[in-house]
Structure 1
């Protein structure tokens, strides 16, 4: 999957979505926040309302209380950015050093993003079954990340096969639950592993819970991509602000992911350098439980096991039992082979 999705480092997408509320200045501030938090990429959503919904399409229930009055079309119209806006935002990201991504919701938006030379495409859960759009995106032969909310395994397979038949095998899948916010009981995080095993593709998780622990758990389970919404202010009017992270939360979120990655390590079980000093103080040696006189045969009731690791370890007990002391061995003295024979 090119080098965007190195298995040793999770690719973190800070999802701005439409949390700019149609204001390019807010969008630029979101870029600043994502960059300062350490995200690999920031993602917006690109659409023409006329191409996305019918004029009388209703809003989803979760959008009703969080957005302006009116239809879904009227809501989306207020959240649109122009091509010139995206051009400015793409250049701003390039200057900052953060990857610009945007989810296209229609053919015209794909063309717009292609003009901006985006490095990869993200397909929303709602377009997983939009095979014509998948084919249109696939023909550019760029990496494609597909969110799989609301889908069953057969629908995911259909989407993957559609892109592959276009000659594009650069596909990654994001497990996702398309409810906003997502209840913890509806996350079904192990389905991410089902996707990994079924399709042998890079997998990740697009998180719509209000917390950060589920996405962090996903990283520990092997997610190579994490996507999480963020906002400048949860109290802003708009469909996605309430379940988004604040700037400080985003920073803590990304730091937590990087800490978990470090903690995962390489999987080799060994004594680490940082443990070696404590190994001496923590492990035990075989010591005399009482004074053992020269010539006495050493029996099990004559020995004990105490810190530090200075004499023979308890694992060597069988090699000293039955041996005779070649000198007096005082109580609490370490027993080693120089003292027995």
Structure 2
């Protein structure tokens, strides 16, 4: 698998900025006005991607799940509506993506000509469907909620068999909300051990700590649900969503965190130059020292500020002779030492 690839104009992986996906899911509840409001929310929050979920309830769900069908049916959009939404998203400067939850929507993905294919965790083990998605020839982003490491290996084998080598994996926990003790951000490291492509995180927690923690740990893609409405019966995404009150702050914090991660090279920062003058220490006289005095350990110490003989040179002065007097706390300088 490629370590980096492009989704439209955006590089994913390597040193590229983390790709932020605003996951609207079905938070539009089938209302195009609400869908447009969600797009505005994502755009105002500086999201890179706006994403929804598309499906046909009768293809997605079996007859024994009639309650789920009744719940999801009003939250569906037509293909014309999705095209309209895609155009609106792109007019805001964002990429548009959709997760197809069943085979009836494969043709939609082709017609929409999306820049990448996002796959939900529910396709665990559903290799025949995953292969069909991979054969669309687009970069893929796959969430791995409920996966064990062997499941990841089998997923990779399935995708690789299609010749698609542009894949990113997102660590995810399929629980709404996810308890803090189950987030397991370090599982991204496990993904990276068996997979050479970009690794990221899809969040289902109630706040932003896990997202920032994932970015700090090296996530190349982050996905967070967004919503405008709260306290919706028969819905769960709003419980783990960012909204108008905090989405922009979350994305801003992600960008700050990326800046804080830095290059990884251990060296003095430019901003430390001023600190070196007052925080570092110089060698000074412990007491008044006469000329002709042989310096012993009891005669000298190190004190702030810098500017004299550095602290790491103190031991080299032992046994040398003063050529002039030094006052208590006066910096020792080489001109006064023989």
Q: Is TM more than 0.5 here?
A: yes
For residues 31 and 128 of structure 1, the distance between their equivalents in structure 2, rounded to whole angstroms, comes to: 29
Question: Residues 135 and 166 of structure 1 are in contact (CA less than 8 Å); yes or no, is this contact kept in structure 2?
Answer: yes
Question: Residues 234 and 246 of structure 1 are in contact (CA less than 8 Å); yes or no, is this contact kept in structure 2?
Answer: no
Q: Where do 5+ consecutive residues of structure 2 fail to align?
A: none
Question: Residues 47 and 80 of structure 1 are in contact (CA less than 8 Å); yes or no, is this contact kept in structure 2?
Answer: yes
Farther-moved stretch of structure 1 (110-119 vs 78-87): 110-119
In the alignment, does 2:131 pair up with 1:135?
Answer: yes
Equivalent residue, structure 2, for 1:182: 178
Question: Residues 41 and 243 of structure 2 are in contact (CA less than 8 Å); yes or no, is this contact kept in structure 1?
Answer: no
For residues 273 and 320 of structure 2, the distance between their equivalents in structure 1, rounded to whole angstroms, comes to: 31
Equivalent residue, structure 1, for 2:14: 7
In the alignment, does 2:114 pair up with 1:118?
Answer: yes
For residues 45 and 311 of structure 1, the distance between their equivalents in structure 2, rounded to whole angstroms, comes to: 66
For residues 156 and 269 of structure 1, the distance between their equivalents in structure 2, rounded to whole angstroms, comes to: 34
In the alignment, does 2:221 pair up with 1:225?
Answer: yes
Equivalent residue, structure 1, for 2:64: 56
In the alignment, does 2:208 pair up with 1:199?
Answer: no
* Aligned residues: CA RMSD: 1.3
Residue from 310, 313, 325 that aligns with 1:313: 310
Question: Residues 13 and 197 of structure 2 are in contact (CA less than 8 Å); yes or no, is this contact kept in structure 1?
Answer: no
In the alignment, does 2:240 pair up with 1:243?
Answer: yes
- Deviation sequence 1:66-104 (CA, Å, 0-9, x none): xxxxx1111111100011111111111111101101101
Residue from 78, 81, 106 that aligns with 1:85: 81
Residue 85 of structure 1 aligns to a residue whose secondary structure is helix
Which 4+ residue blocks in structure 1 deviate beyond 6 angstroms?
A: none
Residue from 26, 33, 45 that aligns with 1:25: 33
Question: Offset at 1:307?
Answer: 0.9
Equivalent residue, structure 2, for 1:67: none
Residue 246 of structure 2 aligns to a residue whose secondary structure is helix
- Deviation sequence 1:254-296 (CA, Å, 0-9, x none): 1111111111100111111101011101111001111111111
In the alignment, does 2:43 pair up with 1:46?
Answer: no
Question: Offset at 1:166?
Answer: 0.5
Question: Offset at 1:30?
Answer: 0.7
For residues 243 and 198 of structure 2, the distance between their equivalents in structure 1, rounded to whole angstroms, comes to: 28
For residues 155 and 291 of structure 1, the distance between their equivalents in structure 2, rounded to whole angstroms, comes to: 74
Question: Residues 283 and 307 of structure 1 are in contact (CA less than 8 Å); yes or no, is this contact kept in structure 2?
Answer: yes
Residue 64 of structure 2 aligns to a residue whose secondary structure is coil
**Aligned residue pair count:** 329
For residues 16 and 326 of structure 1, the distance between their equivalents in structure 2, rounded to whole angstroms, comes to: 78
Question: Offset at 1:107?
Answer: 2.3
Equivalent residue, structure 1, for 2:285: 288
- Deviation sequence 1:198-230 (CA, Å, 0-9, x none): 122211111111111011111111111111111
Question: Offset at 1:6?
Answer: 3.2
Question: Offset at 1:328?
Answer: 1.3
For normalisation by structure 2, the TM-score amounts to 0.94
Within 5 Å, give how 1:316-331 maps onto structure 2: 316-331=313-328
For residues 285 and 154 of structure 1, the distance between their equivalents in structure 2, rounded to whole angstroms, comes to: 58
Farther-moved stretch of structure 1 (12-21 vs 235-244): 235-244
For residues 330 and 239 of structure 1, the distance between their equivalents in structure 2, rounded to whole angstroms, comes to: 74
For normalisation by structure 1, the TM-score amounts to 0.93
